[in-house]
A and B are shown apart, each in its own frame.
Chain A
Amino acid sequence: MKTVKVYGPGCKRCETTAEMVKQAAATLGIDVEVEKVSDPKAIALAGVMSTPGISVDGKLVHAGGLPDPDRLAGWLSA
């Protein structure tokens, strides 16, 4: 079980990113729990400067813009 956090204030791109994570995980057959973090303080304290950001098991892997699907699969299966 991997914990994936999607950081973003709730803009459209953040929603899309969360969906992309869920879909990629389903395709790969990986069990994930996706948590959306929208509190600005929490986002800032995680070191995310441009949203949406993604962390996998506590490690920040992406910040700013929609993730590249291939890279996303890489982070999830790592």
Chain B
Amino acid sequence: MSTGMTDHPQAPLRGDWLWHIGVAAFVTSWWWLYHELLALSDWLTSLMPVARHSHAGEAIAFFLYDVPKVMMLLTLIVFAMGIVRSFFSPEKTRALLSGKREGVGNILSAGLGVLTPFCSCSAVPLFIGFISAGVPLGVTFSFLIAAPMVNEVALVLLFGLVGWQVALTYLVFGLAIAIIAGFVIGKLRLEGWLQDWVRDIHSGAQVPEGLEDERLSMVDRYRLGIQAVREIFAKVWIWIVLGIAMGALIHGYVPQDLMVRIMGADAWWSVPAAVLMGVPMYTNAAGVIPIVEALLGKGAALGTVLAFMMSVIALSLPEMIILKQVLTLRLIAVFIGVVASGILAVGYLFNLMF
């Protein structure tokens, strides 16, 4: 329901309709263009002075199709998620989670982690906000694991470049890791391993309530959607182009059997190696996934590749440094250990299943 209609009588109402029509027109032309994209990119490739089935031709076709496809998918989904997220705020999420018991709390928390707007630069204030409102430590961790790992950029890229089955699998197992890891950390009763000042807050020091929710009209929500698209693009476009270019090179040039030997399912050590390699690497989902797709195409095992990706996104060194302000090193070590075990399990499970 648009609150804007009741708040402002005549003039803004017309503005509202223009917005609705504009959004509808955008979505329609999006569908049309997305359908024609393959033909369009084939035609563009045919203009290039290379044979279509040569190494270079394959690489160029891959690049010219995948870049616009991914950009289009991202635009639509990030816009939609921007609107969905405008219904969730950290304050609301905290209210939903405070006093929830472990178990149910972990499941709810991981789910809300996906839907609540989150930026890793706000991880510390958010952590304190949750803890001070009586959200259990393990439940807070479920949120902090799910929020960066299961995000729309990762899912869109997996969907667009690898397929919906893999995207869905990633969503389900990403959530499962967040829920179980948070649950385990909660059971370990590690509240004593928080930094001192955080423990004081945990045991009842007062923190102000924070903001009440502003009432938003549908047009405000569209604006937030557009803002989200602009922010994500400013952040990730270069990684997408570079990543897909890299993917295109692997696609055209790297011999199949080399990848099978290094990252195939037979090498037992490949999963832990992938997780270890992922920790110091810090990039968002956008930079990793095009490489992931090309690796898969060349015969790398799905579990190994997913483990690599989850590790890059969920266990990053810079985020650990941020969290160091609220967690002691021991607690960070437990956090890494529990999450890494979860990722390892997913990696092996997948290599067995597929």
Chain A residues within CB distance 8 Å of chain B: 7-9, 11, 40-41, 43-51, 60-66
Q: Are A49 and B117 in contact (CB under 8 A)?
A: no
Q: Are B117 and A64 in contact (CB under 8 A)?
A: yes
Q: Are A49 and B197 in contact (CB under 8 A)?
A: no
Q: Are B89 and A43 in contact (CB under 8 A)?
A: no
Q: Which chain A residue lies CB-closest to B128?
A: A44
Q: Which chain A residue lies CB-closest to B211?
A: A63
Stretch of B15-23, B202-210, B278-286, B288-296 on the interface side: B202-210
Q: By DSSP majority rule, is chain A's interface helix, strand, loop, or mixed? A: loop
Report B274-326 residues with CB < 8 Å from chain A CB.
Answer: 322, 325-326
Mark contacts of B127-157 with chain A using CB atoms, 8 A cut-off: 1 yes-contact digit, 0 otherwise.
1110010000000000000000000000000
Which of A7, A9, A49 is the one whose CB lies under 8 Å from B129? A49
* A1 to B: closest C-beta gap in Å: 23
Is B54 an interface residue, CB under 8 A from the partner?
no
Is B49 an interface residue, CB under 8 A from the partner?
no
* A52 to B: closest C-beta gap in Å: 9
Q: Which chain A residue lies CB-closest to B131?
A: A44
* A21 to B: closest C-beta gap in Å: 17
Q: Are A60 and B94 in contact (CB under 8 A)?
A: no
Stretch of B118-126, B162-170, B264-272, B342-350 on the interface side: B118-126
* A10 to B: closest C-beta gap in Å: 8
A selection of 26 A-B contacts at a CB cut-off of 8 Å is: A11-B119, A11-B121, A40-B326, A44-B127, A44-B207, A45-B201, A45-B207, A47-B208, A48-B125, A49-B90, A49-B91, A49-B94, A49-B122, A49-B125, A49-B128, A50-B122, A51-B121, A51-B122, A51-B125, A62-B211, A63-B90, A63-B91, A63-B211, A64-B89, A64-B117, A65-B117
